[in-house]
Chains A and B, each alone.
Chain A
Amino acid sequence: MQLILGVIALWLVLGIAGVFFPRNLLLVSRVLFPAGALGALLLAAAALDALGGEIQSRVLPLGLPDLPFHLRLDALSAFFLLLLGAVTAGISVFAAGYFRRGEGTPPGLQCLYYHLFIASMALVLLADDAYAFMVFWETMALSSYFLVTSDHAKAEIRRAGFLYLLIAHVGAIGILLCFGLLHGSGDYTFDNMRAVQLAPVAATVAFALALFGFGAKAGMLPLHVWLPEAHPAAPSPVSALMSAVMLKTAIYGLLRVLFDLLHTQVWWWGVVILVLGLATALYGVVFSAVQSDMKRLLAYSSIENIGFILVGIGLAVIFQSYGMRALAALALTAALYHAINHAYFKSLLFLATGSVLHATRERALGKLGGLIHRMPWVAWLALVGTLAIAGLPPLNGFVSEWLMLQAFLFTPNLPHPYLNMLIPVAAAAIALATALAGYVMVKFYGVVFLGQPREPSLASAHDAGTWERAGLVWLAAGCIALGIAPVAVIGVIDSVTGQLLGKTLGASATGWMFLTPIGPERASYAPLLFLLGILAVWLLTWLAVRRFYHGRVRRAPPWDCGFPAQTARMQDTAEGFGQPIRQVFEPFFRMQRELPTPFDAAPRYRVSVEDHLWYWLYLPLARVTNALTRVVTLLQRGRISVYLMYSFVTLLVLLLFVR
């Protein structure tokens, strides 16, 4: 606990140091950010140490009089702190090489917001009373708002930032009301909330408010609209941090309320989370397939992954409410495993897009291509992230997918007939979403890194610098390690499931190499053997081909069915690659097409794909709000005598009531 608080204090000091030297890029990037990364590593180590240990509490004499900050470090907090520290270490090292002069906010201020952001996230995870939680939660939202709008000279970035801030606050209201219900008649410490027994109706309302509030932060449908706007607007390390860690604090909050502060779980809460999670996952992945901006594509993919995590939580609630604790542990383990996986591969990919952005000044997929030749480091490391996020063995994305499918597959008969029908349909939807994720990632990687450069300016693209490479290598190594050592990772997650569900998964019955969550005869998976098998066959084939045949290679122009006038513009664009998805999932989109006629002198093809929810939900809501505001403005007369009269009338009415 001391060490963790020390690291948080270090971050705050580093941030404040940045304010004093706002334009000293050398100091900020060579001293402050690397020191922050070192702190993050320490934090991860301390959190790992605290995972198996006892619950530690502490009261900080800060805040309002009589309202000190209560902090508590238990297994759930420690797990998310571990995630925060391990991923932030890589992102901070990358950021050391990333921030430049002349890109919006000066580097020193950037450093302040950045470190304030990570410190507030760490404190959110530690908070043990509603007051401290909300203070840190709002600090997190505000500091990240300033990071998102760091390029505030552009109008669309200010707009994205406003949308983000708006939805963050609408969500915060939900969380605040939820705590208001949970505390019963006592004080606002979480200890008191744990002791309060709520009536079923009140508990359900509290659950709904928590799901709304934390769902808004996590990007759950239909509150996801800020995510594809805010993530591309932010500088890449910040997008990585928001996607990898901030979305997970929302998951943390949901788990804290569901399994810790509320005592009982009702089965249909699980169904609500499961269905919303499925909808979020499918919606996110389908939209991500039709994007033509690489960061928007990744942002939609984050929505999909959050949906996946929610599905795991929903299943865990269903199983826990029926007392099937072993299966609940399996589903929750899958969700937590996916949370940490997503943190690693998504930050890796966001940082890779940052390097591409710096090298080419281009975010549109349609103007990239062929970067594997110019930026081999970024390209090969991004390939690891691409394969991992597509859920392919033996990398980490596959492990959580595997665990999740096992949870579906070994669902025994639930006492509810409709639930029994929901389970296979949900499994099918998850399988479909994962397969679509593969489609999206092939599109992303193929269009950005492979093929021919679509613009002549790409010939001058340069590879990432040393700091950036180091950050990317750290995250890619994490993807591989999480993929091939699942038993060790589940050993870490077990302390969380033990705390929340009172039951651990116990990942292996037959040694560290085999992942056998239910029993070796039911299912087992050994990623290390798998990897070794592939590599062995690969090597043997290569040696055999070399041994028995020649290794001659001749370079020639591409064949392409003998077509000689091949140009880079004949490759698939991002829009072209997404076209089958646009066609198959047409009802999902609000599409506007503009097609040229055969006789157009200057033919133009345009297609715009938008979200139905904007038109069905948000714009009507905005109109209603505007109409209500107009009613309120009737009060505004702009004359002081009228306002004085209002005060007088109010006083009269109040006196009438008080007497």
Chain B
Amino acid sequence: MPLLHRIARKSHPVIAFILDGEPCEGRAGDTVLTAILNRSEVLRVSEFSASPRAGFCQMGACQDCWVRLEGGERLRACTTALAAGMRIVTAKGRAA
């Protein structure tokens, strides 16, 4: 079950993106963090112990929600707006 639950913006326009190779849908107004966690329960795994993480502060302070695009660019998920066609890779996908 996803970590976050939408209680507003449920019928906003769909934004299609790719998460670890899988086609997904977010909604207009989503951050990358919101889009991922409405679909998944984990956002990334930690570098040293590979423990599951899903961000913490949601305001760009704790730096615990960095994900990557397939091209290698790093994004802080909580402060980046979801854009159509984003191909997001969580370390979770690589570790699995």
Co-assembled chains A and B: no
Interface positions of B (Cβ within 8 A of A): none
Interface positions of A (Cβ within 8 A of B): none
